[in-house]
Amino acid sequence: MIAAFCKRFSCAGAKYGSYFYRAMGESLSLQKVEYMFGIVGVPIIEVAMAAQAAGIKYVGMRNEQAACYAASAIGYLTGRPVVVIGGSSDRNQETAGAFQEFPQVEACRLYSKFSARPSSLEAIPSVIEKAVRTSMYGRPGACYVDIAGDMVNAKVDRIVSCCPPPPVSLADHGAVTEAISVLKAAKRPLVIIGKGAAHGRAEIALRKFVKMSGLPFLPTPMGKGVLPDDHPNCVAAARSRALLQADVVLLLGARLNWILHFGLPPRFDPDVKVIQVDLCAEEMGNNVRPAVALLGDINAIVTQLLECVHKDGWKYPSDTEWWSTLKDKIVANAKISKALALQSTLPMNYYTVFHHVSQLLPHDCIIVSEGANTMDIGRTMLNNYLPRHRLDAGTFGTMGVGLGFAIAAAAVERSRNKGRRIVCVEGDSAFGFSGMEVETMCRYNLPVVIIVVNNNGIYSGVDPETWKEMAKMGDLTAIAPPVTLLPEARYDKIMAALGGRGFLVRTVEELRSALQLSLSDWEKPSLLNILIDPSSDRKQQEFPWLTRSNL
């Protein structure tokens, strides 16, 4: 399977009069595919080679899932989604029990925007063009192209042009005016900035809108950095209070799904009015009926809102009771986190680790994060200052995305040569899903800094002494808690064995020294294996939601 990323440019048509492999490579190149990620095997090896011959960068991964994660990350970072190319059995062997025979096209239709097998060799260029176009028009999403085995040795002659960029649509002017009226009438307004705003490149217009309107804003996890986390109007540190008490929410490219608690009580005011801005019509009204629905391009609509605010001259006052409430909660939460961060006991806790990591990370680094507590606590303590500089497990909470995301980000940064660091923050459980991708990093000399926050388990583990005592009691499969992993596993030695730098970290001094050294090394990847207290946990949560347990 090969996951192909596509880069936007204008281009003219091309004529194909070559064998399948060259035609496939040239078809992808014509659509401005810049990267491929995958694991090759017969007959896909030649497709990857043909792609390289056509100027496409091929990154060989260790796991097919990681290949798709990498492609999706590059799509997000650069604005073009994923096209997946897979091989299948010969067409004349269908239903006969061919090698790895499976209804791939039908299966992928459930999970992709477009899934097709070219009916003939001549159809390959047009199918590739449609897959690329479909992937980026409307709500972006992955597309799948299936190539039958008997197509690989024939010729094709076809002319196809590059697909045009997506059209930009504006919201109805009357609806925009109504949205401003609802905002002006609000006593406790809140702007929620979602991943859609980041994908829509809305940061410049949004920065002007927030400054001119004076509204408080809250980013979703993947919306962090669209506006800087240290922006004076950012109320992320008072998230629960802001969501619960807001009477009007301007929802910019975010879904009212589990991440935002479906927009429902007890996390939201039952009478909250939602102004929903989204590119996808089907998303409007999910879970909460919007007071105003603004359908179209996020950047274009924010610009429309900005123009209305500018013309009207309205600005939400900075001395309201609402602002006082939010600022008081921000200060109170900061005191709790700081007290945990400054604890000097060993092993360290999450807050101590992230406190010192945050002090050393450059403001322009791209932070990749996955895990349970590692991701949740890290999101609140590791600031993002630039758009599309945070990649995490996203809507599905998928573990295993981290190293693939980091490889993709490192590949993009290498091609751009902007000198930005890629820092991948992993829980030890999450690292295990795709840990062998450190070999990919070492093979391509990608200077990713991996930070494994190791608590010896999933959510929590046990210390080495407790593990030894349990082992004396009998078969660990019958005794060890299901959440436990091997205490103090040496993930750092895996990196070192493959040619990178590995650091075992137990203290604050070791953490700061290892991280500073890793950030200064542009030649090879590094891994910091930070051993923390296995019982370390998040600060007390007012609403436990996904972290609740009967244990």
Q: Is residue 489 pLDDT above 70, yes or no? A: yes
Where is 502: in which H helix or E strand?
strand 501-505
Average pLDDT value for residue range 380-392: 97
Rg over alpha carbons for the chain, rounded to the nearest Å, is 25
CA distances from 62 to 2, 227, 418 (A): 12, 35, 27
Q: What is the DSSP string of 472-500?
A: HTS-HHHHS-TTB--TT--HHHHHHHTTS
The pLDDT tens digits of the residues spanning 457-471 come to: 999 999 999 999 999
Q: How confident is the model at residue 400 (pLDDT cuts 50, 70, 90)?
A: very high
**Of residues 388, 418, 391, 386, the one with CA closest to residue 404:** 391
pLDDT for res 523: 94
User: What angle (nearest 5°) sits at the alpha carbon of residue 194, between those of residues 189 and 199?
Assistant: 140
Spatial CB neighbours of 211, under 8 Å, sequence gap ≥ 6: none
Taking the domains of the chain in order of start, what are their residue ranges?
Answer: 19-151, 173-327, 343-531
Residue % of the chain over a pLDDT of 70:
93
Higher pLDDT: 537 or 236? It is: 236
- Asked if 531 contacts 454 with a C-beta cutoff of 8 angstroms, the reply is yes
Where is 115: in which H helix or E strand?
strand 114-116
What topology is assigned to 173-327 in CATH?
Rossmann fold (3.40.50)
User: Is there a common fold for 19-151 and 173-327?
Assistant: yes
Number of helices (H) and strands (E) in the chain: give both, helices first. Answer: 20, 23
- Asked if 88 contacts 149 with a C-beta cutoff of 8 angstroms, the reply is yes
CA distances from 489 to 429, 432, 531 (A): 11, 11, 9
Average pLDDT value for residue range 203-231: 97
pLDDT for res 6: 45
- Asked if 277 contacts 298 with a C-beta cutoff of 8 angstroms, the reply is yes
Higher pLDDT: 423 or 397? It is: 423
Higher pLDDT: 235 or 45? It is: 235
Q: What is the 3-state secondary structure (H, E, C) of 355-411?
A: HHHHHHCCCCCEEEEECCHHHHHHHHHCCCCCCCCEEECCCCCCCCCHHHHHHHHHH
> Average pLDDT of the chain?
91
- Asked if 252 contacts 415 with a C-beta cutoff of 8 angstroms, the reply is no
Q: Is residue 515 pLDDT above 80, yes or no? A: yes
What topology is assigned to 343-531 in CATH?
Rossmann fold (3.40.50)
pLDDT for res 200: 95
Average pLDDT value for residue range 251-257: 97
Cβ burial of 122 (10 Å; 0-12, 13-18, 19+) is: middle
The pLDDT tens digits of the residues spanning 417-440 come to: 888 999 999 999 999 999 999 999
Q: How confident is the model at residue 91 (pLDDT cuts 50, 70, 90)?
A: confident
What is the rounded CA–CA span in Å between residue 355 and residue 342? Answer: 8
User: What angle (nearest 5°) sits at the alpha carbon of residue 350, between those of residues 344 and 356?
Assistant: 65
Q: How confident is the model at residue 530 (pLDDT cuts 50, 70, 90)?
A: very high
Q: How confident is the model at residue 410 (pLDDT cuts 50, 70, 90)?
A: very high
Q: Is residue 270 pLDDT above 90, yes or no? A: yes
- Asked if 427 contacts 372 with a C-beta cutoff of 8 angstroms, the reply is yes
pLDDT for res 15: 35
Q: Is residue 93 pLDDT above 50, yes or no? A: yes
Q: Is residue 455 pLDDT above 80, yes or no? A: yes
* Residues comprising the chain, all counted: 551
- Asked if 113 contacts 141 with a C-beta cutoff of 8 angstroms, the reply is yes
Phi, psi of 17 (to 5 degrees): -145, 50
The two tokens of residue 405 are 């995301």
Higher pLDDT: 416 or 543? It is: 416
Domain formed by 19-151, architecture: 3-Layer(aba) Sandwich (3.40)
- Asked if 251 contacts 272 with a C-beta cutoff of 8 angstroms, the reply is no
pLDDT for res 43: 64
Spatial CB neighbours of 208, under 8 Å, sequence gap ≥ 6: 306
CA distances from 372 to 68, 163, 376, 377, 549 (A): 22, 40, 6, 9, 14
Q: How confident is the model at residue 11 (pLDDT cuts 50, 70, 90)?
A: very low
pLDDT for res 546: 53
Q: How confident is the model at residue 23 (pLDDT cuts 50, 70, 90)?
A: confident
The pLDDT tens digits of the residues spanning 141-156 come to: 999 999 888 876 666 6
